[in-house]
Chain A
Amino acid sequence: MDLLDIGEEDVMVPLLVRAARDADASVRAEAARCLEGMESESAIGGLLDLLVDDEPEVRKAAATSLAEIKEASHGSQLLDRLSTADGFAKASILRALRELRRTEAYGPALQALNDGDPGVRAAAVGVLGYLKNAQALPHIARLAKTDPDPEVRRITVGALAFAQHAPEVGAALVDALKDSSWQVRDEAATTLGKLGDRAAIHPLVEAMDDPYWQVRLKATRSLGKLKAAEAMEVLTQTLSHAVSNLRKEVAIALGEIGNLAAVPYLEEALNDPDPDVRKMCRLALSQLGALKS
């Protein structure tokens, strides 16, 4: 960080761009770090060059600095380089593009969904998720189902949260509730709650049988948000589960659903050994207008 103290940005950038071509890899890496936040064409050009450096340390530093770009106008310079980049560089450029939300990034990101590199596909989903362009939904939804990489599928399932009234998305998310990776299932249960589509209720009730309590917790939270009276039976049964995190979430959901049938169960749970569970039962009972003081 000490190179930064030499002077103002207009003086610094040419020096740093020259340092970025130094024979010594540690100098190039330091230059990449110092170029962070310097939003000029030559600074960004220098960083883009370093993305294909022989040394992984230098490439990593350049990617980190590129991700800090804040001015959307620099998006074109990044996009120009995207077509010739591959692998690491492509993923890094896409990650830098995400926050800039440039509409021109839509096409290239869509194309990158088919890339052989999971890192590129994940970054491309990020760009599309941030753009929130509904036309991308079927493509993202397809990836949620077919991508071989579980982390890509998880990100994809999260990115679908901007879909409103898109039945094909609902179907993909319901499938994702049965994914082999618990983290994908967890993310799917969360996203279904955000979308607010009552068609998700039945699949979420089924997800209450998931072997991971974490997934059941997210399903519970979403069932609460959806005010799913249909879930009363499975939720009241879960109020005695061994993991208190889950019992607590069930109490919150029962309050949100607003069905008076929950009252006796919540009253019984007022004696739960866990104070957080008891507290949430009191809160739920007061939401139901049934708290005896």
Chain B
Amino acid sequence: MPLTMNRVSVPVTVDAEKCIAGKGCTVCVESCPLDLLAIDKEKGTAYMRFDECWYCLPCEKDCPTGAIHVDIPYLLR
């Protein structure tokens, strides 16, 4: 069946300057209860892969370098 890709604004922002995923850190990926974050191997940073956020904040709190910011999803803001 025909499918399309829709653009959505996602709540989790990663500061590429601070993120140390390139050095092997996966703390945020492991702490997300919904398994929404992933590492972009080429850029060496974490990013939000799925827009299924509960804005519960473990990723932000557990990040060792303070690279993550969680916003309230736009639909609720």
Partners in one complex: yes
Q: Tell me, yes or no, whether A1 is within 8 Å of chain B by CB.
A: yes
- Interface residue tally of chain B, by bracket? under 10
What is the minimal beta-carbon distance from A223 to any residue of chain B, in angstroms? 44
Q: Tell me, yes or no, whether B64 is within 8 Å of chain A by CB.
A: yes
What's the Cα separation between A30 and B27 when bound, in Å?
Answer: 13
What is the minimal beta-carbon distance from B65 to any residue of chain A, in angstroms? 8
> Which chain A residues in 20-45 approach chain B with CB under 8 Å?
26, 30
Q: Tell me, yes or no, whether A104 is within 8 Å of chain B by CB.
A: no
CB contacts (< 8 Å) of B27 on chain A: these are: 2
CB contacts (< 8 Å) of A2 on chain B: these are: 27, 30
The residue in chain B whose Cβ has the minimal distance to the Cβ of A30 is: B64
Query: Would you give the 0/1 interface string for A1-28, flagging 1 where the beta carbon is closer than 8 Å to chain B?
Result: 1100000000000000000000000100
- Interface residue tally of chain A, by bracket? under 10
What's the Cα separation between A140 and B29 when bound, in Å?
Answer: 50
What's the Cα separation between A1 and B25 when bound, in Å?
Answer: 12
Q: Are B64 and A26 in contact (CB under 8 A)?
A: yes
What's the Cα separation between A26 and B63 when bound, in Å?
Answer: 12
What's the Cα separation between A26 and B62 when bound, in Å?
Answer: 13
Q: Are B64 and A1 in contact (CB under 8 A)?
A: no
Query: Would you give the 0/1 interface string for B46-77, flagging 1 where the beta carbon is closer than 8 Å to chain A?
Result: 00000000000000001010000000000000
What's the Cα separation between A47 and B22 when bound, in Å?
Answer: 31
A interface, CB within 8 angstroms of B = 1-2, 26, 30
B interface, CB within 8 angstroms of A = 27, 30, 62, 64
